[in-house]
């Protein structure tokens, strides 16, 4: 078995599948230098808690975003770029040991990716969500619309997804602007509602769609929660409670020089509440009026469950259900994608059975600053749990698929 996996790696290097290669050794792994072994994959130099390590499954994946697992197959949504129609759906067989395969092409900015209990995939594109049968002879023909007429323009057109045990689907509808600025970048009129909040569906919201209401037209759906600038991290607890990790606004100091762009506003984690309004663009943090709306009454705005560092940019979230990785059972894992000092790491947050934080997030994968010849700056994004309890991590800017696993005694530094 070891020999066959080694041969697969060599074949993947010698005969790349449209620019992809898996299990790459040192000097061939893009900008990562690998050394040693992490549970069957080349080990990269990143900081983890004792007993864990990070291995490189695949590089050269262009702009890897969402990731999902069905059986022994790993699926990756490759957005390609921010240009329309450049995306692909990839499959990496044999638990990541096989060469990547391209299943679909010309997708419009794919992002969210979820495996369903019946062995299909829900794939979030700009403007729509598809059901894909990856085992079909022709997956492109087997695609079906699940949600249509989602917004597909502006700053935040990407669909993040979460699926509840009862089949309820949660979908992020990001805002078209940063803080409801006008087309010429001037401040919004504080005497008028932000036009985006009046759209159908409202921008800056999360939709909830019952399983028996699918397929659905997003224009007919009332928001489950609103005032959420961009809820790119979505997850659902076993009891159906939805969670969100939300990216807050930028450039607050340009509206009020007394406010620090380095520390404000905070991104946040929250237990989503039905019909709650979390304040965007009128309020930020714990009911503070935005400088563009200084007289707005924020007293009835929902307070987030936990404030995160400003510009951490949480883009992926997972409720860990395995027991393989010590100390992580029942915790929420979040990818902090941001390029500033608060970002480029994976964090773990202890929660109770209802999603309420129990303390502060703790580093799970860190030390991800760029080091020439060793590693690039981290760009963690998608998360998925494998059957063996290991955790997959995609990186868009670096085009890689990584795996957080339990280190064997000989692999521990």
- Confidence at 228, pLDDT banded by 50, 70, 90: very high
Q: Which residue in the block uniquely carries the two structure tokens 């230098």?
A: 33
β-bridge pairing 161-163 and 169-173: antiparallel
Residue 226, pLDDT above cutoff 80:
yes
| Residue-level pLDDT at 36 | 96
Higher per-residue confidence, 367 vs 19: 367
Residue 293, pLDDT above cutoff 80:
yes
Token representation of residue 254: 């340009």
DSSP 8-state class, residue 190: T
- Confidence at 7, pLDDT banded by 50, 70, 90: very low
What helix, strand, coil percent values describe the chain, rounded to 5? 10, 35, 55
| Residue-level pLDDT at 13 | 33
Residue 217, pLDDT above cutoff 90:
yes
Phi, psi of 73 (to 5 degrees): -105, 135
Share of residues in the chain with pLDDT > 90 (%) = 90
Residue 353, pLDDT above cutoff 90:
yes
Token representation of residue 26: 């040192």
| Residue-level pLDDT at 142 | 86
Q: Which of 129, 230, 108 is nearest to 172 (CA)?
A: 230
SS3 314: strand
Residue 4, pLDDT above cutoff 50:
no
Distance between CA 114 and CA 112 in Å, rounded?
7
Q: What is the pLDDT of residues 147-178, one digit of tens each?
A: 999 999 999 999 999 999 999 999 999 999 99
Residue 25, pLDDT above cutoff 50:
no
| Residue-level pLDDT at 385 | 98
β-bridge pairing 216-217 and 268-271: unpaired
Contact, 95 vs 386, CB < 8 A? yes
Q: What is the pLDDT of residues 81-119, one digit of tens each?
A: 999 999 999 999 999 999 999 999 999 999 999 999 999
Residue 10, pLDDT above cutoff 50:
no
CA distance to 106, 194, 282, 287, 302, per residue, from 299 (Å):
46, 18, 11, 6, 8
How confident is the model over 337-356, as a mean pLDDT? 97
Token representation of residue 351: 């929660």
Token representation of residue 116: 């369903």
Token representation of residue 217: 């037209």
Residue 31, pLDDT above cutoff 80:
yes
β-bridge pairing 332-336 and 345-349: antiparallel
Distance between CA 58 and CA 114 in Å, rounded?
20
Token representation of residue 346: 């994976």
Q: What is the pLDDT of residues 364-389, one digit of tens each?
A: 999 999 999 999 999 999 999 999 99
Residue 51, pLDDT above cutoff 50:
yes
Distance between CA 242 and CA 260 in Å, rounded?
31
- Confidence at 410, pLDDT banded by 50, 70, 90: low
- Confidence at 408, pLDDT banded by 50, 70, 90: confident
| Residue-level pLDDT at 328 | 96
SS3 38: strand
Q: Which of 381, 387, 375, 386 is nearest to 401 (CA)?
A: 381
Residue 26, pLDDT above cutoff 70:
no
- Confidence at 268, pLDDT banded by 50, 70, 90: very high
Residue 22, pLDDT above cutoff 60:
no
| Residue-level pLDDT at 18 | 36
Apex CA 336: angle with CA 334 and CA 339, to 5°?
170
| Residue-level pLDDT at 389 | 97
Distance between CA 315 and CA 210 in Å, rounded?
24
Token representation of residue 172: 């992020």
Residue 15, pLDDT above cutoff 90:
no
Contact, 19 vs 61, CB < 8 A? no
Rounded mean pLDDT of the chain? Answer: 92
Residue 214, pLDDT above cutoff 60:
yes
């Amino acid at each position: 078995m070891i020999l066959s996996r080694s041969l697969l790696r060599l074949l993947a290097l010698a005969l790349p599948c449209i620019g992809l290669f898996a299990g790459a050794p040192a000097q061939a792994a893009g900008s990562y230098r690998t050394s040693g072994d992490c549970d069957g994959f080349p080990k990269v130099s990143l900081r983890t808690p004792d007993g864990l390590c990070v291995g490189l499954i695949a590089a050269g994946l262009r702009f890897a975003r969402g990731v999902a697992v069905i059986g022994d197959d790993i699926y990756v949504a490759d957005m390609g770029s921010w240009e329309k129609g450049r995306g692909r759906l990839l499959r990496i067989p044999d638990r990541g040991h096989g060469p990547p395969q391209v299943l679909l092409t010309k997708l419009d900015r794919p992002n969210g990716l979820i495996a369903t209990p019946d062995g299909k995939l829900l794939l979030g594109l700009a403007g729509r969500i598809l059901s894909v049968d990856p085992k079909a002879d022709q997956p492109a023909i087997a695609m079906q619309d699940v949600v249509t007429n989602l917004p597909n323009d502006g700053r935040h057109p990407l669909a993040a997804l979460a699926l509840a045990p009862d089949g309820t689907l949660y979908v992020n509808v990001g805002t078209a602007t940063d803080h409801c600025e006008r087309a010429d970048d001037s401040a919004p009129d504080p005497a008028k509602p932000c036009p985006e909040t009046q759209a159908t569906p409202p921008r800056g919201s999360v939709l909830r769609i019952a399983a028996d209401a699918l397929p659905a037209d997003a224009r007919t759906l009332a928001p489950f929660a609103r005032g959420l600038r961009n809820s790119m991290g979505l997850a659902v607890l076993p009891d159906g409670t939805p969670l969100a990790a939300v990216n807050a606004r930028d450039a607050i100091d340009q509206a009020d020089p007394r406010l620090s762009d380095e520390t404000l506003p905070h991104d946040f984690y929250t237990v989503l509440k039905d019909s709650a309004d979390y304040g965007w663009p009128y309020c930020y943090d714990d009911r503070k009026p935005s400088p563009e709306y200084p007289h707005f009454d924020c007293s009835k705005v929902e307070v987030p469950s936990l404030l995160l560092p400003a510009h951490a940019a949480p883009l992926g979230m997972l409720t860990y259900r395995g027991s393989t990785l010590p100390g992580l059972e029942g915790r929420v894992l979040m990818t902090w994608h941001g390029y500033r000092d608060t970002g480029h790491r994976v964090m773990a947050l202890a929660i109770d059975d209802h999603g309420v934080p129990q303390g502060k997030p703790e580093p799970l994968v860190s030390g991800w600053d760029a080091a020439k010849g060793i590693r690039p700056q981290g760009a963690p994004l998608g998360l998925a749990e494998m059957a063996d309890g290991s955790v997959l991590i995609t990186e868009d800017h670096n085009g890689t698929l990584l795996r957080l696993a339990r280190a064997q005694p000989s692999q521990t530094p």
